Amino acid sequence: MDAIRIERLTKTFRNGRKALDSVDLRVQEGEMVALIGASGSGKSTLLRHIAGFTASDPAPSHVTLLGRPIQQNGKIVREVRPIRRDVAFVFQQFNLVGRLSVITNVLIGALSLVPLWRRLSGHFPRGERTLALDSLDAMGIGEHAYERASNLSGGQQQRAALARALVQRARIVLADEPIASLDPESARRVMELMQTLNREHKLTVIVSLHQIDVAMKYCARTVALHDGRVVFDGASDKLTPAVLLDLYGTAATELLTPDVAESKPSMRAQSASFASVASAASS
Ligand SMILES: Nc1ncnc2c1ncn2[C@@H]1O[C@H](COP(=O)(O)OP(=O)(O)O)[C@@H](O)[C@H]1O
Ligand SMILES: [Mg+2]
């Protein structure tokens, strides 16, 4: 089954800006897909439409998650909660409540599975607590479970957000530039853990990224956006510097800033050619 099915998705903002232009995209269950594109290309807008945070333009725009429509005819479906429960969203700016403990933040992820009065009273079922601790352990931050979320580093907060996806029992993770505010080592850790969610926990992942080298390292498939249109959808290793230059012109430089230090020799060779294309593009 398709985890995500998008047909002719178009979004025109009130100011007339067409942020998505007839996007077609199908992602199968179990895939991990990178979404790349320069700033303003429509990555966040696309992810927000998949999650059903924002309504699209009217027909023919259509988004279906795990066989259930979430957007149709320019409206988010009325019965959206059971669908959203399957989707975990990870934001670039860590979205934990700073004054609450890490485990409480993670348990809030189980929100729709726990009755309201229990949530308000802070009484979560024992099973949920156990799952939350296990999930924090799986993401390597179990020892921070009872600390205030604000004490965690950015990377640790993103790992808590990933733990929340497990507690929520999400089937799809949508991550909007989750590593953009992280140092390289934390970024690597977060990408590896998303890979764990994908491979071991069988979650479908779409992750928007600013840098093509990261997409190539972690995702077999990359979808590239430019001005709200899908300009590439295929094997990540087919996105050579030349292809990128062709797709983006001088804007390709923005995507070609590899972290040479941590990359493998083969990647380093590629990085060198990225760098030369980048400088060619900017000159
Ligand atoms: N709420 C909004 N109102 C008007 N224009 C918007 C709004 N949100 C985004 N845009 C515009 O839509 C385009 C795509 O933005 P966005 O999805 O944030 O791109 P990305 O995430 O790739 O940087 C940009 O031109 C942006 O300025
Ligand atoms: Mg964005």
pLDDT digits (tens, 9 = 90+) for 197-210: 999 999 999 999 98
Ligand 1 pocket, residue 37 CB under 6 Å: yes
Nearest CA to ligand 1 atom 26: 40
Cα 95 to middle of ligand 2, angstroms: 15
46 contacts 35 by C-beta, under 8 angstroms: yes
Residue 266 pLDDT grade (very low, low, confident, very high; cuts 50, 70, 90): very low
Note the pLDDT of residue 256.
80
Q: SS3 for 56?
A: coil
What percentage of the chain has pLDDT greater than the value 90?
67
Kindly state if the Cβ of 47 falls inside 6 Å of ligand 1.
no
CB 26 within 8 A of CB 4: yes
Residue 101 pairs with which residues in a beta bridge? 148
pLDDT digits over 248-265, tens only? 888 788 888 654 334 444
Q: Whose CA is nearest to atom 25 of ligand 1?
A: 40
Sign of the torsion angle spanned by Cα atoms 242, 248, 252, 255: negative
Measure 177 CA to ligand 2 centroid, in angstroms: 7
Instruction: Dump pLDDT digits (tens) for 33-91.
Output: 999 998 999 999 999 999 999 999 998 999 999 999 999 989 999 999 889 989 999 99
The domain spans of the chain are 1-86+171-239, 98-170
Asked if residues 246 and 232 have their Cβ atoms less than 8 Å apart, the reply is: no
137: tokens are: 């352990």
Q: What is the CATH number of domain 1-86+171-239?
A: 3.40.50.300
Angle at 179 between CA 93 and CA 155, to 5 degrees: 75
28: part of which helix (H) or strand (E)? strand 18-28
Name the more confident of 236 and 272. 236
Contact 19 CB / ligand 1 (< 6 Å): yes
Give the chain's mean pLDDT.
Answer: 87
Atom of ligand 1 nearest to the CA of 176: 21
- Which segment of 97-106, 138-147, 215-224, 260-269 scores lowest on mean pLDDT? 260-269
